[in-house]
Amino acid sequence: MKKLMLAVLASSALFGSVAVQAADIELKLAHTWPKGFPLFGTSVDEYAELVKELSDGRIEVKVDSRNKHKSAFGIFDFVKSGQYDIGQSASYYYGGKDPDTLFFTTMPFGMTSAEQTAWFYEGGGLDLANEVYGKHGIEVMPAGNTGMQMGGWFRKEINSVDDLKGLKMRIPGFGGKVMAGVGAIPTNIPAGELFQALERGTIDALEWVGPSLDLRMGFHKVAPFYYSGWHEPSTELMYFFNQEKMQSLPEWAQSILRNAAKLTAHNMTTETFHASAENWSQISQQFPDVQIKQFPASVIAALRESNEKLITAESERSEIAARIVASQKAYLEKARAWTVIGDKLYLDSVSE
Amino acid sequence: MKKLMLAVLASSALFGSVAVQAADIELKLAHTWPKGFPLFGTSVDEYAELVKELSDGRIEVKVDSRNKHKSAFGIFDFVKSGQYDIGQSASYYYGGKDPDTLFFTTMPFGMTSAEQTAWFYEGGGLDLANEVYGKHGIEVMPAGNTGMQMGGWFRKEINSVDDLKGLKMRIPGFGGKVMAGVGAIPTNIPAGELFQALERGTIDALEWVGPSLDLRMGFHKVAPFYYSGWHEPSTELMYFFNQEKMQSLPEWAQSILRNAAKLTAHNMTTETFHASAENWSQISQQFPDVQIKQFPASVIAALRESNEKLITAESERSEIAARIVASQKAYLEKARAWTVIGDKLYLDSVSE
């Protein structure tokens, strides 16, 4: 009987109960955003809450925003080194650590949110991501999608490729390189200075996210042309897990951490879709002068050509880069054919 | 010490551990589909597996397909009566039990999958569904989406509303009523007899789901015109929970049952998107004579008019029906504006 009781005590200590006050497993998480940042940051707080609930309090995730850890783009190193057990950020911020991380956020003229989600989970995308991150002792999972990012706020209309030549635009990353390829001058400016830069004409245009996060920035008050998207058609954030730490946990805990991440990602995607719908409704009603614009076909063609050159160069960089580019291209082709005969033809048929 | 040990024993019995062989909570689930039916049925098996994993074996969900319980459309009654604790089916099968259940699957000319998911979780849709089902002691949650359902397989092209008059088409439910409103003759035929009916001309057309589930039916071999969708733009399945049973469970168990349902729904949606992409690729490559068609604008206009009449009649039926129709209409308007400036303009700009 004593032996049994000890076994019960041991298993109770290991697996917890309402009677146990402290969590059995405590994990530290660092994310890129300011504390309480809408959608990107708040979804991480929801993740910690969900993990706690699903585990009946046995797993506690302590969330540090960049206000605490002071290093917005240090997430990759934090998790690689084990300083933090979990991270949440965007993969394409870490091209300096490993250029193959570039492919796992979104690509210009790439997949939509539904298409890319299917590529990650059903088309081999997540396996490729984990092949890249595994070299650094990190396991990754999608963390939520902004949906289509808009092409940006422009002070003047763009009627030809010539109108892009010399255009000063805040557009960082790969999209900026594509823009540079057609003669624009991509710049990066801290978020807090963007509104003034656009208002004063220091820059001619900028892209931020989409209605979900653009509304609070106020760009619609100083640049009336809102262009449809091309450079980030489905920006996916990423959870990072320290592999060694993850694998040291019992299976039920691993399952909760991964499945809660997967669900939180879907929740953020839905919440962001909703915020975009609500915020675009506000902008379009309160600022009727704002005009939705599409780049002319000649501009799209020039941007696609510039993009193709860059992607080809990327795919020649390494064996794995070539495989990732080929996988994305093949999946996009199949998935897009379905998107077109499914959602697109429906939307065409009901649009006036 | 004895008291503490008893408390530990009690909490261990309640909250389980690896040492406990049998699950602490056993639940029975019934679904509408044949055992192992792709996507609709297999996702329920995945749900049971996920619940077991997340709960570290403390919750076991036993899944009965219709092969076992013999009543495909008895799920509502099974869960209402408590004969089963959980069910999975489609809400619109239960209009005979409560006409207000009609609205929670998909509506002709209604929201796309992304739009409707946001309506359920962020736009008040799920609260309305639970207001309807709560009267029957049932709690509901979305269970996975087929995405756009195709308009169906037709033996002949449809060039005008006149071509629909007298057309015999397998199209059950609300979509069938809309079709009847323009002069078609909707029929229902058991799944196993559909291929022959279409091949022999007993019917002129039929709708099933989309490439994800149409491929195995073989309709593309006998009816070459595949029309784009309108009648079920985002068919969502539904989980049913017996309210009294759910509320009798500890909070962590309720959280696991609900969140696993939510995640399983997203997983099924992604798996179905992937299957549609793969299967459409197969059909279009192996059967190059299959043609994708859109109904002419005049046909779409007539179908919309027929639909509007029916929806107006529905909304006048009860106070809650009026609120549901108003909620869907308002959300569709906001969400669609975002879909159009986001995904649609992007797809337009990259389509040749």
CB distance A334–B233 less than 8 Å? no
Residue B79 has pLDDT above 90, yes or no: yes
Interface contact flag, A12 B17, Cβ < 8 Å: yes
- Which of A143, A127, A145, A146 shows the shortest CA–CA distance to A257? A143
The pLDDT of B305-316, averaged and rounded, is 97
Chain centre distance of CA A319: 25
pLDDT digits (tens, 9 = 90+) for A285-302: 999 999 999 999 999 999
Least confident of A126-130, A190-194, B103-107: A190-194
pTM of the predicted model as reported, rounded to 2 decimal places: 0.93
User: Which pLDDT value is given to residue A198?
Assistant: 97
Closest-approach residue (CA) in chain B for A292? B341
A69 with A266: CB under 8 angstroms?
Answer: no
Band of residue A101 on the pLDDT scale cut at 50, 70, 90: very high
Query: Which chain A residue lies closest to B55 (C-alpha atoms)?
Result: A252
Q: For residues A219 and A210, is the Cβ–Cβ distance under 8 A?
A: no
Average of per-residue pLDDT values in chain A: 94
Cβ-defined contact of B252 to A109 (cutoff 8 Å): no
Max intra-chain CA distance, chain A: 86
Distance (Å) from the alpha carbon of B12 to chain A's nearest alpha carbon: 6
Which chain B residue has its CA at the smallest distance from A285's CA?
B334
What is the pLDDT at residue A193? Answer: 95
Across B230-335, where does the E strand assignment appear?
Answer: 236-242, 291-293
Domains in chain A, CATH or no CATH each: 10-145+235-274 (3.40.190.170), 149-232+288-317 (3.40.190.10)
Pairing of strands B205-206, B225-227: unpaired
> Among positive and negative, which fits the CA dihedral A14, A18, A20, A24?
positive
Structure tokens at A340: 């077109």
pLDDT, mean of residues A52-59: 97
In the prediction, which pLDDT does A188 show?
87
**Is residue A13 over pLDDT 70?**
no
Mean pLDDT for all residues in chain B: 94
The beta-carbon neighbor of A148 closest among B53, B123, B343 is B343
| pLDDT at position A5 | 40
Q: How confident is the model at residue A352 (pLDDT cuts 50, 70, 90)?
A: low
Query: Could you report the per-residue pLDDT of B214-250, keeping only the tens digit for each?
Result: 999 999 999 999 999 999 999 999 999 999 999 999 9
Torsion angle of the four alpha carbons A267, A271, A276, A281, in this order, in degrees rounded to the nearest 10: 140
Q: Distance (Å, rounded) from C-alpha A172 to C-alpha A85?
A: 29
CB-facing half-sphere around the CA of B272: CA atoms within 13 A: 30
A53 to B351: CB separation less than 8 angstroms, yes or no: no
Predicted confidence (pLDDT) per residue in A57-83, tens digit: 999 999 999 999 999 999 999 999 999
With tokens 């309108």, the residue in question is B230
Q: Which chain B residue has the Cα nearest residue A16?
A: B15
Report ipTM for this prediction.
0.93
Of A140, A34, A30, A139, nearest to A83 by C-alpha is: A30
Interchain contact, B341 vs A228, CB within 8 Å: yes
CA A207 to chain centre: 15
Shortest alpha-carbon distance between residue A125 and chain B (Å): 13
Model confidence pLDDT, tens digit, residues A301-318: 999 999 999 999 999 999
CA–CA separation, A335 and B278 (whole Å):
8
Q: Which of B270, B280, B344 lies nearest to residue A117, judging by beta carbons?
A: B270
Nearest CA-CA distance, residue A49 and chain B, Å? 11
pLDDT, tens digit, for every residue of A222-264?
999 999 999 999 999 999 999 999 999 999 999 999 999 999 9
Decide if A11 and B9 are in contact by the 8 Å CB cutoff: no
Of A14, A229, A337, the CB nearest to B342: A229
Q: Do the beta carbons of residue A337 and residue B281 sit within 8 Å?
A: yes
pLDDT score recorded for residue B352:
59
Residue A279 CB-density burial (10 A; 0-12 exposed, 13-18 middle, 19+ buried): buried
Closest-approach residue (CA) in chain A for B266: A266
As a whole number of angstroms, the distance between CA A216 and CA A196 comes to 14
B121, B280, B341: residue with CB nearest A337: B280
Band (B349; pLDDT cuts 50, 70, 90): very high
